[in-house]
Amino acid sequence: MLKHKKKLFFIFVSIFLLAGCDSSNVIQSSHTHFFDHYFIYPFSLLILFIGNTWLHQSIGFSIMLVTVGVRMLLAPLNILQYKNQLSNKRIQSQLQELKEKYNDKDPESQQQYQREMMKLLKENGANPLMGCLPLLVQLPVFSIVYYAIRRIDEISASSFLWLDLGHADPYFILPIAAAVATYLQSKVMQSDVEGMNQSHAVLSRILSLLMVLSFGIFSPSGLVLYWMTGSLFMIFQSLVLKKFFQEKAVFEVE
């Protein structure tokens, strides 16, 4: 459940930060602002180059392709996170035993519980902070995509299918699709979380769906397209990792 609270927190922080951003200034190569010059402008050039050169001037497909590329670059972090999740799952029974052993609320008992818990986590290669790392890396990337779409005229003025990439989807089709993709992503990833209360799992998925839907209704379609593509990629990646580690576990047993 904690992992999905972090994801909800990431979505909330993203919405909060982006809602207060001034996107009125168009970014150009002459801009000397560090973030504009070295991150947003080169990223926008990459999107435009791929779209105009390889994809017959389809900026929407370019955003989707670049999203997949970004997700593939982040894949090593996600693999580490998944392995960490499996390690946590493997020692759940031992963690529960420790919790029952030190169920007294006095400070000395709780300190001993913390020491033994951290020792157990370390021995099994489980890092409680690992779940935060991919989200922390995603936040600046998400911001770069947002500014590239809102502050680069050639991207914000582009069309893709029925969408105007610089404006919200008037038919709400893309926000609904992004919300459903996020819901399915949460469901797939929660299936490997040991001992998660089902009511809490369902609640976290519904909250994710509602937050992404609310975010998508008011956000530029290009950004929602990026989010939806990332969610679909994460679903695929989670299924592949699950199959790989299951087969690896069977092989090691044999």
Mean predicted confidence (pLDDT) in 169-181: 95
Residue 27 is classified by DSSP as P
Does residue 169 surpass a pLDDT of 90?
A: yes
**39-51 pLDDT per residue, tens:** 888 888 899 999 9
Written as one string, the DSSP assignment of 98-159 is HHHHT---SHHHHHHHHHHHHHHHHHTT--TTTTTHHHHHHHHHHHHHHHHHHH-HHHHT-E
Does the pTM of the predicted model rise above 0.75? yes
When mean pLDDT is compared across 48-52, 146-150, 185-189, 191-195, the lowest value belongs to 191-195
Q: What is the pLDDT of residue 26?
A: 56
Residue in this structure with the two tokens 């090691």, named with its chain if needed: 252
Whether residue 165 contacts residue 60, with contact meaning beta carbons closer than 8 Å, is answered with: yes
Which of residues 25 and 112 earns the better pLDDT score? 112
Which of residues 1 and 115 earns the better pLDDT score? 115
Mean predicted confidence (pLDDT) in 72-91: 82
**106-138 pLDDT per residue, tens:** 777 778 878 888 888 777 777 766 666 667 777
**Where in the chain are the domains?**
2-17+28-86+130-245, 92-125
Whether residue 223 contacts residue 172, with contact meaning beta carbons closer than 8 Å, is answered with: no
Q: How confident is the model at residue 98 (pLDDT cuts 50, 70, 90)?
A: confident
Q: How confident is the model at residue 24 (pLDDT cuts 50, 70, 90)?
A: very low
Does residue 80 surpass a pLDDT of 90?
A: no
Does residue 16 surpass a pLDDT of 50?
A: no
